[in-house]
Amino acid sequence: MEISSHQFHLLEQLNEQRKQDLFCDCKILVEGKVFKAHRNVLFASSGYFKMLLSQGLKETTQPTVVTFEVFSPETFMVILDFVYSGVLSLTGQNVIEVISAASYLQMTDILHVCKTFIKSSLDINEKEKDHYLSLSAKSTSTEPAHPPLYHSRRKAKSNLRCSSSVPDEKANPANENAWSSCSSSQVILQRAETQLSKRGRKQSSVRRHRKLLGLSQSCDLAPRKANRGERSGAGGTAAASQDGEEPGVDAENDAGHEYGYNREPEVIPKKQAVAQLEQDLSRTAEYELPQTRFKCPFCTHAVKRRADLKRHLRCHTGERPYPCKECGKRFTRLEHLRNHFQTIHQAGKLICRKCKCQVTELTGCVVQQGTRRYRLCHQCQGEANFDSIPDDLDAEHSPVSSLANKRSRWALEGGQKSDEETMEEEPYNLVVRRVNGDGPDRGDEKVKPNLR
């Protein structure tokens, strides 16, 4: 006989124990803030903790202390609450940090929920836009003095779509709670906050708009910073707080904290929310560009096309679907990968790296330094006493020479190698390939690094 509520009660009991600091044998320090938890619960919930704690299984008498600096305490609180309750308090403001932290902690359930959340945000975004439209129509009917907000070329869809936009998360029962914690009224309120913060900023040009985004793009920068971190080796909080920004942007940031990081998000009655939104929209209508139809759910950026929004969202999600086959570095766009491959691995620029003179296939040679390739004129090559590279080796690591071939290579090779694979086959030697048909100048001397 199976008692279905047993698991729930067990988790509830564990959560109570955690809150009362009973039997907690693990301390987690996140940016100085201490969280207490049970090792076995963390072990069962996170791949990171599983690895970490399995290493110290023998030393179970001492409490484990784990320190994190790569995400904020608020984010970890959301995750810890999920571990102990099955409820994930996702909001538009915290989803980026949560997905980043969940990735770090190897918690795939949360990752899936976050991905679905982001995906559905597009629908929510659309839904809200339609909501704005209906509100606008309503306000114009009652207040003829205000111009309509949008002149949509699309048919306004029925409100039924709102409910259908909620993602299907049957696999994870906790997600229902998660979605409920991110109620539509809350999302609308976030939009209202955004509208408020944008008030008074006439978007006369896109560039100015980008500047105005300022801190709101701190979350845009998150993946980029993380990427930079690959070089510096420093882990940073995804949405690091930055002081000294313009006041309007700070307002947005504050809004994020108010609605995003509260453990128990404030739920404002829908009527009040709608009223506030109507008020905001009536004041901001003249500043809205009618042609920008898709708003990013995570920042104030708006684009005309859904495809552009999809592309933009990658800077929030950190998704980098295009890995370089040579060095494993990942890119958000294929064109960026192509540029990278051509400049770094194929010496695409016909300029001598050292003296900057123009070279051709005949007057220059290609130098390989690790995975990087660049061209040198013969004079600079002679001065630097470079070694040459046999053609077969070059062919092995750069099987394409023309742009057309390269493109066909990118297009044809669907399956991407893993980073480990690409790293394993990286040629970490320094070699030169003659392109003028001269015999290869074999030798073992290495080119001095960083020829810039």
Partner DNA sequence: CTGGGGATGGGGCCC
Partner DNA sequence: GGGGCCCCATCCCCA
Contact segment (CB under 7 A) with DNA among 62-70, 181-189, 310-318, 379-387 equals 310-318
Candidates 19, 151, 228, 270: give the one binding DNA (CB under 7 A): 228
Is residue 411 a contact residue for DNA (CB under 7 A)? yes
- HEC string for the chain: CCCCCHHHHHHHHHHHHHHCCCCCCEEEEECCEEEEECHHHHHHHCHHHHHHHHHCCCCCCCCEEEEECCCCHHHHHHHHHHHHHCCCCCCCCCHHHHHHHHHHHCCHHHHHHHHHHHHHHHHHHHHHHHHHHHHHHHHHHHCCCCCCCCCCCCCCCCCHHHHHCCCCCCCCCHHHHHHHHCCHHHHHHHHHHHHHHHCCCCCCCHHHHHHHHHHHHHHHHHHHHHHHHHHHCCCCCCCCCCCCCCHHHHHHHHHHHHHHCCCCCCCCCHHHHHHHHHHHHHHHHHHCCCCCCEECCCCCCEECCHHHHHHHHHHHHCCCCEECCCCCCEECCHHHHHHHHHHHHCCCCCEECCCCCECCCCCEEEEEECCEEEEEEHHHHHHHCCCCCCHHHHHHHCCCCCHHHHHHHHHHCCCCCCHHHHHHCCCCCEEEEECCCCCCCCCCCCCCCCCC
Candidates 202, 304, 409, 442: give the one binding DNA (CB under 7 A): 304
Please state the closest distance from residue 187 (CB atom) to DNA, in A. Answer: 20
User: Looking at beta carbons only, is 104 or 374 nearer to DNA?
Assistant: 374
Type of residue numbered 341: F
Please state the closest distance from residue 215 (CB atom) to DNA, in A. Answer: 12
Is residue 340 a contact residue for DNA (CB under 7 A)? yes
Candidates 138, 161, 199, 333: give the one binding DNA (CB under 7 A): 333
User: Looking at beta carbons only, is 107 or 337 nearer to DNA?
Assistant: 337
Candidates 70, 192, 315, 367: give the one binding DNA (CB under 7 A): 315
Site string for DNA, 361-400 (x = CB under 7 A): -------------x--------------------------
Is residue 328 a contact residue for DNA (CB under 7 A)? no
Please state the closest distance from residue 225 (CB atom) to DNA, in A. Answer: 7
Is residue 111 a contact residue for DNA (CB under 7 A)? no
User: Looking at beta carbons only, is 7 or 405 nearer to DNA?
Assistant: 405
The rounded distance, in Å, linking the Cα atoms of 11 and 22 is 14
Is residue 317 a contact residue for DNA (CB under 7 A)? no
User: Looking at beta carbons only, is 131 or 329 nearer to DNA?
Assistant: 329
Is residue 161 a contact residue for DNA (CB under 7 A)? no
Is residue 451 a contact residue for DNA (CB under 7 A)? yes
Residue that has been written with the tokens 């420093």 in this structure: 234
Site string for DNA, 176-215 (x = CB under 7 A): ------------------------------xx-xxx----
Contact segment (CB under 7 A) with DNA among 81-89, 244-252, 299-307, 430-438 equals 299-307
User: Looking at beta carbons only, is 263 or 452 nearer to DNA?
Assistant: 452
Please state the closest distance from residue 227 (CB atom) to DNA, in A. Answer: 5
- By CB under 7 A, what part of segment 230-249 binds DNA? 231-232
Q: Taking a C-beta distance cutoff of 8 angstroms, is the pair 428, 421 a contact?
A: no
Please state the closest distance from residue 349 (CB atom) to DNA, in A. Answer: 7
User: Radius of gyration of the chain from Cα atoms?
Assistant: 27
Is residue 329 a contact residue for DNA (CB under 7 A)? yes
Please state the closest distance from residue 424 (CB atom) to DNA, in A. Answer: 20
Please state the closest distance from residue 168 (CB atom) to DNA, in A. Answer: 20
Is residue 312 a contact residue for DNA (CB under 7 A)? yes
Candidates 331, 366, 386, 394: give the one binding DNA (CB under 7 A): 331
Please state the closest distance from residue 122 (CB atom) to DNA, in A. Answer: 9
Long-range contacts of 276-280 (CB under 8 A, 24+ apart): 276/189, 276/192, 277/132, 277/135, 277/188, 277/189, 277/191, 277/192, 277/195, 278/135, 278/138, 278/139, 280/192, 280/195, 280/196, 280/199
Please state the closest distance from residue 161 (CB atom) to DNA, in A. Answer: 15
Task: List Cα–Cα distances, 146 to 168, 271, 275, in angstroms.
Answer: 39, 21, 16
Please state the closest distance from residue 160 (CB atom) to DNA, in A. Answer: 20
Is residue 153 a contact residue for DNA (CB under 7 A)? no
Which residue in 223, 384, 232, 190 sits closest to 317, CA to CA? 223
Is residue 336 a contact residue for DNA (CB under 7 A)? yes
Is residue 314 a contact residue for DNA (CB under 7 A)? yes
- Which residues lie near DNA (CB under 7 A)? 206-207, 209-211, 220, 223-224, 227-228, 231-232, 301, 303-308, 310-312, 314-315, 329, 331-336, 338-340, 343-344, 349, 351, 356, 374, 407, 411, 449-452
